[in-house]
Homo-oligomer: A and B are copies of this chain.
């Protein structure tokens, strides 16, 4: 892996949905203050709800993986579309290139591939959102990208205890779409990150139920729950948090909620695939991968 420092080459790709060209331009301009940004001229393509055809998005990602200078690959936006590429992406190519990927939400599907290839990837804001971000949020993103990510404190204890493992996961619905496919993340002993946006609580229940039945939840060392943005109750009043608590509190592993990670106002960047230490009793999550080195 090439060091991610001032002047490093960042490849920007759009493997999922389309996005606002002005936000994108503003995000690229911000990145160019510090990095050398490369992207294809057709990155703004649209095909329905996709950022261009599967072929275009696949070629673009493979081109980024083949760039010998690239220190990181940064997604332009999520939405939907990354899962469509999984069958045609090469695990070996991701492993050999060893270039970290940055994104979240729909990019969860690619994070799972990076995890399978044992290449770290950063769960964090993407180019179009950076174009609209505060200076403070941008500065924190850069610090996370060039380091280990922040140590989060003040997390809500749902189930106390301490656990260590690689941080994996991301968007609940996207993780659910990996069930039963060859593209599921390697969750054995992992700290599972969960966040979502715009899902009714019963839908989160459905995915968590499937995960439990598929044996995913038995394998994890701990769970860290991020933002559940706009996951509003129906008339029955059952909240998304109540649903997740019910499914997670009986697992016998430490669980925390209220991570400032996901689709909320604050989206702290965390390094997936790297070993973290969760102290659910104290309410802290810390990247401890460096202490192994």
Q: Which residues of B contact A84 (CB under 8 A)?
A: 205, 209
CB distance from A207 to the nearest CB of B (A): 7
Number of chain A residues close to chain B: CB under 8 A: 35
Bound CA–CA A94/B245 (angstroms) = 32
Within A189-244, the residues touching B (CB, 8 Å) are 201-203, 205-207, 209-210, 212-214, 234, 236-238
Give how many copies assemble into the complex: 2
- Check if B48 sits within 8 Å of A180, measured CB to CB: no
- Check if A87 sits within 8 Å of B213, measured CB to CB: yes
The secondary structure that dominates the A interface is loop
CB distance from A196 to the nearest CB of B (A): 13
- Check if A83 sits within 8 Å of B180, measured CB to CB: no
Q: Which residues of B contact A182 (CB under 8 A)?
A: 213
Question: Looking at the complex, which one of B18, B177, B214 makes contact with A176 (CB distance below 8 Å)?
Answer: B177
Q: Does A183 contact B (CB under 8 A)?
A: yes
* Among all A-B residue pairs, the 10 with the closest Cβ atoms: A180-B180, A179-B180, A48-B238, A181-B213, A180-B214, A80-B202, A49-B236, A48-B236, A177-B210, A179-B179
